[in-house]
Structure 1
Amino acid sequence: MRIGIMSDSHGNTMAVDQAIKKAGQVDVWLHAGDLIQDAEYLSIVTGKEVVHVAGNCDWPQNSVPEEILIEKAGHKIFLSHGHNYGVKRGNSDYYRAALAKGADVAIYGHTHVAEIDEKKNCLMINPGSVSHPRDGQAQSFMVLNFQGQEIKVEHFHI
């Protein structure tokens, strides 16, 4: 199973389109917030399931959760924008929350900086910003490729 991950698209549907094209075959997409409308656009243009959460720029949004725990490919994935866990100061609080929820994969955004952090019992993923990166790198997104219990993370720049 291949799961596409993006965050912080901020209305840049051209960047979303580029990510879709570059990702290749994806079974489901996860959007870690900022902007909900982009996640809805992603669903329309791909025809795929898109699981998404509200970010700090989506407030107030009562119909979309700020965090969610889902199961895909035998893994529990905790998805949140991350702003409620202070991820700009580091991912330690988010890591503890993910473990408390029983997740073995935790995905967040908000920082606009891509990160793959293989902590004990939980793979922490920030795909960066598909629209406005803050790390001097190109716009980015990621794809999780699940092969049994093994997870391969593919990091793409557009």
Structure 2
Amino acid sequence: MKIGIMSDSHNNRYAVEWAVARAGDVDLWLHAGDCVPDATYLGLLSSVTVENVAGNTDWPDGKTPDDLVVEAEGHRIFLTHGHIYGVRSTLEMLVDAAEREGADIAVYGHTHVVLQELIQGSGGEVLVINPGSISQPRDGKPPAFMIMTLEAGCAPEIEIVHYMEK
């Protein structure tokens, strides 16, 4: 299963369009917050399901959760924006929340910095990933999104795709 992952699009519809075109055929999209309308737009552009959460700049709409769990290919993915878990300071609360949900993968945004790290939690390892920002990166690199390939019984494969790479 091929999953496109983006975050922090901040109303940059061109960047969302570029990511969809660059990702090609994916089976699912995850949007980790900061512009719920962009996640809706992503759903209009793509013919696959889009799972999304609210970020710190999204006004509560009563419909978009702060976090959710997605099951795919024998993996449980904890999706959140991250601001309520203090991800700018530590990933400990994020990993704890993912473990409480039985997730082996935690996807978050908020920092606008690409990250992929296997972290030992109290109950096992959690793959923690942040796709960075598709529109406003803060790591000195071009805007980015990720493509994660999942296969039951195998470790996830992650591709980081930077803006305008072919």
TM over 0.5: yes
Q: Which position in structure 1 is the counterpart of 2:133?
A: 129
Q: CA deviation at 1:148?
A: 2.7
Give the helix-richer structure, 1 or 2.
1
CA shift for structure 1 position 90: 2.2
Identity score, percent: 47
Q: Tell me the matched-pair count.
A: 158
Residue in 1 that maps onto 2:103: 103
Aligned residue for 1:142? 146
How many Å separate the matches in 1 of 2:153 and 2:140?
Answer: 33
Q: 1:127 Cα shift?
A: 0.3
Residue 60, structure 1, aligned to residue 60, structure 2: yes
Give the structure 1 partner of residue 35 of structure 2: 35
Indicate conservation of the 8 Å contact 2:69/2:79, yes or no: yes
Matched, 1:152 2:154: no
Find the aligned partners of 2:61 and 2:108 in 1 and give their Cα distance: 18
Shift of 1:47: 1.8
Unaligned runs of 5+ in 2: none
2:63 is the counterpart of 1:82: no
Partner residue of 1:9?
9
Note the C-alpha offset of 1:147: 2.5
**What do residues 89-145 of structure 1 show as CA deviations (whole Å, max 9, x unaligned)?**
121110111112110000000000010011232100100000100010100000110
- AA matched with 1:63: K
Q: Which runs of 5+ in 1 are unaligned?
A: none
Report how far residue 48 of structure 1 moved.
1.2
